[in-house]
Each structure stands twice: as C-alpha cells, then as structure tokens.
Chain A
Amino acid sequence: MTTPRVERSPILEQIAADFAQRVESSNGHANPELHALRRQAFDEFQRLGIPTVRHEEWKYTNLFPLLAKGFHLPPHRTELPSLDAVLAPLRRWGRVVPLLDGQLLPHQDEPDLLQPLSEALRDQRWFERLGRLAPFEGNAIVAWNAAFFAGGFVLRVTNERTEPVVAVSVLDGRAGNVAVHERHLLEVAPGASLVLVLVQRVLGEGEALLNQVLEGWIGENASLTLVLVQDAPQTAHAITTHELELARSARLELITVSIGGGFLRNMPAARLVGEGADAQLYGLTLADGSMLVDHHTTVEHRVAHCTSNELYKAILDGRSTGVFNGKILVQPNAQKTSAYQANRNIVLSSRATINTKPQLEIFANDVRCTHGCTVGRLDREALFYLRSRGLSKQEAEALLLAAFAEEITAKVPIESLRTDLNAHIEHLLHADELA
C-alpha cells in the first residue's frame, strides 16, 4: 500500500493544536486506555491527512473549502441554553434525546435504554466494541473522530420498542463556527426492534460541522429502522459514518432524507454477516444553492442467502452538487446473494452537477446483482398531460418532483415525520418556483 500524501496545511495545524490542548480533558474523567487510543487515532489521522480529491473515495467531494471556514471545538460550558424551542417540534416524532455539542443531556426516564458514552465506556464490554465496526485505521474521518469525540450515547434495545427514539444533535454556533465529533454505539438485541431518528440542529449564527460515527449491531431476527433527517439550514454541515452489522435474519431499513444543510457527506455501511439478513437503503437529495450532498453507501454481503436493495434519488437545482457512490461487495462465500441498486437523478439547473458511481465488486458466482442509474429530466409527456389539465408549468413540475421525492419519504414509518418531511419538500419546491 502506498502512503497517501499528507497535506500540510493551516487546517491540519489548527487540528493538531486543538488535539494537544484537549487530549487530557476530553473524556470528562481519567481513562488511560482511552487516552492511548485517542493518541493512536490522532497519529493515524496525521499520517493519512485530510482526504483530497485525489483520493478515489473523495474524487467528487472536496473537504477543503468546507474546512477553510475554520471550525473550533466547542468551549467548556457553564450553563445550558434553553433548547425547548428547538426540541418542541420534534417531540411529535417520538422520544426526543437531545445532545448538546455531543454531550447527552439529562433526559426524562428510561435509564436502561440510553447511557452517555463516557459512562458506558467504563464498562469493558462497551469499550471493546468501540471501533470494532468503524476502526480508525486507514480512515481519516473516523480517526479524526476517534481522536476528538467529546460525547455520544450508547443505546441498547432489548424489546420490540414501539416508540421511536429521536436523537437530536444540537450544535452551538452562537460563539462562532463549531466542529463536534459525536460517537455512538447501538445494539438491537436479538428479536428486538427499534426506530431511531437522527437529526441535527444549530444554535446561533455560526456554522456547525458534525462528524458523527455510529457503530450498530443488529442481532438475530432483530430490526432497525434508521432515519437520518438532514433538513437544517445551510449553516449545518455533516459527515456521517454509520457502520451497521446485521446478524442472521436481521433487518435494516435506512432512510436518509437530505433536503437541507450545506455540506453533507453520508457514509452508511450495511455488513450482512448472518444468513437471511436483509438491508434496505433509501436516500433522497433535494439540493439547491451551493449545497453538496454526497451519499457514499456500502453494502457488503459476507455470507450466503442475504438480500439487499438500494434506491437513491436526487433532485439538483441551483449550483448544487449531488454525489452517489454505491458500492456492493459480494464476498466469495456469499452465494445466493440477491442485491439490487437503483439511482435516479433529476438535474434542474445548468449549473448543478451530478456525479454518480455505482460499483459492483463480486467474488461469488451464484448471485443476482443489478444496478441501474439514470440522469434525466422530468417526463415531458407527464408534464404536458398535467398542463393540458390546466396546471401551470411550475405547478406541474412541483407536483411531479414531489411525487418523485415522496417515493423515498414514503418509507419513513413515522407518520408525523413523514408529513413534516413532505410539507418541507413541497415548500422547497414551491419556494424554488418563486425564485
């Protein structure tokens, strides 16, 4: 393996200074093992450097303009701001669990369900799991996270939970641009089920970058529905790494709705390690202005008789950029695999760009894998049909685009969330019409 070229830049220097300053205090308590791990992670981060567009995985997504904005670690705080206004509208989606700059805030009840990460890591069993699905070796983003993560949660579900959990990452941008590294561990015990919503909010005028790493184990015959809601204003940026491992007959539905924010890079991975496991990944991008939305998915079939399906859709307007990189990996023993992937894109503006790269890597022979990808415009026949029924061109377009988008939001199992997302999408589509 060749050593990647390390970019010597003021950005990296700033990060190194932050690390030196924070390393001893970032756990909230003394934990020599964790300190050692952070140092190793930081060394790895320095070795790898910040990925540039010369890295195959970052070919279409340039981190440097984002990082050049200058993000600082959140200050130690003495008092909590009121989050009521931010959290209230989210309460109808499910049980709200707020995190402020990564720190899990005291929440009402259910102590068995959630623990702050720092507490949980004192338990050797959780500590050993840290980095098992998302190792920092060779991954600059995870290494950066491992060196700096200031908080997060450990969530364990052992029953068929009916009430969704809504984890809200609130980033405090009131004192300037802020970067927060969140780290979460998740276990859905055998036979259990969970609907988890992840959402981001920003306080104040500063810009906020969330580097979120989640490692999740879905046990035998367990089920996880993970909804990633990215609907914040353009000052909200996120890099997410969601590594999910599926045991025998486990089910995963991952729905990513990226309709707001500035720079969004999502790297979900579903690793099917037990026979009969099934992963469904859905994504929607609705981007305008200078938004960049990059969905970088991995579905890995490690054993036989698993199924996976992916559908990612994008509508791109303004000067926005959409990226889809969908990797399907079928390992040598994963016979009888059935894997499907589809990527549909609509480009509305001459300054918008879509880069898409489906990627099949298949090492087993008895498989059925297909992917399809399209880039195009709205169906002119359908547009004409609607206009011939009296709709204006703008109305007809908005209607068709909403229908295109709602195929993804329809997968969201929480009715109130679905309604809110659809309303938001329609609002955006009509706002666009006025602009």
Chain B
Amino acid sequence: MAEPILRIRNLHARVGETEILRGVNLDVYPGQVHAIMGPNGSGKSTLAAVLAGREDYEVTEGEVLFDGKNLLEMDPEERAREGLFLAFQYPVEIPGVSTATFLKTALNELRKHRGQEPLDAMEFMNLMRERAALVKIDPTFFSRSVNEGFSGGEKKRNEIFQLAMLEPRLAILDETDSGLDIDALKIVADGVNALRSPERAFLVITHYQRLLNYIVPDVVHVLYRGRIIKTGPKELALELEAKGYEWVTETDEVAL
C-alpha cells in the first residue's frame, strides 16, 4: 500500500488543564474515507482543531505526519497550503469580504505555494462557476460577504464549495451534517462524493450515522474519552446507530 496521507501516533492534547486527546493513533491512506464517530465530548472536534492548528489546544505528546511531513510544526496557513482542509462546524462570517475575493486570495496563495501562476479573473470565474454547480450554489453567492447572513445549510454548502475550489489532499469535515435538513444533507453529500478521488482522503467527523448513509466510509472509528476504542468497516456505524454508544464504551472500558 502507498504511504499514508495522514499518520497520527499517540497524540495527546489539552486545553488549559484538561486533557482531551489521550493517545490517538490513526492512518489515513489516499482514496480513503474515514469516519470518526463518538458521543459528545469524546474529543472529535478537538482532533479536527488540533490537526488544523488551532492555537487554543496544546499538544503535549505524540506525532502527526502529513504526507510524511511534521504537521505539528506548521502554522495553520502552511497546513492549508500543504493540502489540509477543514470544513468548519461553525463557519465564521466575514463582513464586507465577498466569497469571490476570499476564495481568490486563498486559491492564489495555494497556487503560489505549489509554484503555479495565479489564475486570472476569467479563469477564476470559470472555475468558480464549474465548482459551484457541484454543491448547487447560485453564482449570486460569489458577491455576497463570506457566510454573512447565510442560513445554516448555506454555510455548510459554502464550506464544501470551498473544498471543491481548493482541492485539498485531505479534507476534514467537522460535523458538517449538524443542523442540516435531509435535502441540504444530500446536496452536501453529493458534493463530497463527487470530490472523492484516488489521491484525496476524507476524515468525516460526525455524531450521527445519518451522514454515512450518503458518504459511505471505508473505515469507521469510535473516539471515546480521547482515544479510538474501536475500528471497523462501514457496518460498524449502523451497529452503533442501533445499539448506541454504550455498546462500545461499556465493553471496551474494561479493556482500556
């Protein structure tokens, strides 16, 4: 098998005095979709935040390799330029900055990093139109301020649209399904599925199995109290849905 895009070894992280991640191990290979499930407070969103480089979290132990490079040494923007994308659970609003300006700035930073020429206005517009269609985003979005006045569903679609524009190596979807009705969920899932490719991997963080009906994972992990306590095929998600998290937490607590 090829080298993993993401290799996490014994990752410990805390916020303030509270240790939230307590030894996470994970390998994600190109082309794979990994789902990370777990009850509230298990550390799912912390894992996403630590991988993206949010400063509020302190890594106390462990290692993360991204395409073989030490991810933890990089600034957040370096991680993004290396191809790590986080679809935020709560996308922020940026008043006055249009989605087009924002994405053009981001994309050209990425292209500069890859040694590519910046896209000119025409090429960029064409690319935006093409990718917007994937997530059924109306071109009137382009001139609207980033996420300002967007509904919950529009914000999540905008995250996937940005994913489509920036074409990362690894996309982390942090509870992208929360707050979405079924129609919006399908649109988001269709977008993600269209972006699956042999070179790209996804880490789908979710509380509910529902999303995994539409984005079918290769591997499912259960994160509990800061550790991955169970790993299995896609059927594991269904089993969790049927039996609840107690099923794994109770049986595995002893083993830990």
Report if A and B touch in the complex (beta carbons < 8 A): no
Residues of B within 8 A of A (CB): none
